[in-house]
Amino acid sequence: MFNTVLGEELLFRGYLLPRMEGRFGRKAWLVNGIAFATYHLHTPWTIPTALLDSLALSYPSQRYRSAWLAIIVHSVQSLIIFLGVLILVLK
């Protein structure tokens, strides 16, 4: 959860995205989404999913100038995956 909120969402949507608007304007969300997917090079099989996911999170973050939506959605995804894995392991 800490990596999701502090490491990814606050960095990409909270810090980088507003600064990218100065350089890329209205397309900053697209560049931010590609940068987020590229950040996942250590797990290349997740890049297509990360790209779609990050584009869906970057656009509303730029549109409403808030990282909260991205933080909530990404945290819920991580929580669901964690609980699913925990249930499988404990069975």
Residue 2: its pLDDT value, please? 67
Rounded Cα distance between 56 and 86, Å, is: 27
* Confidence class for position 1, pLDDT limits 50, 70, 90: low
Query: What pLDDT digit, counting tens, does each position of 24-77 carry?
Result: 999 999 999 999 999 999 999 999 999 999 999 999 999 999 999 888 888 888
* Confidence class for position 91, pLDDT limits 50, 70, 90: confident
Residue 8: its pLDDT value, please? 85
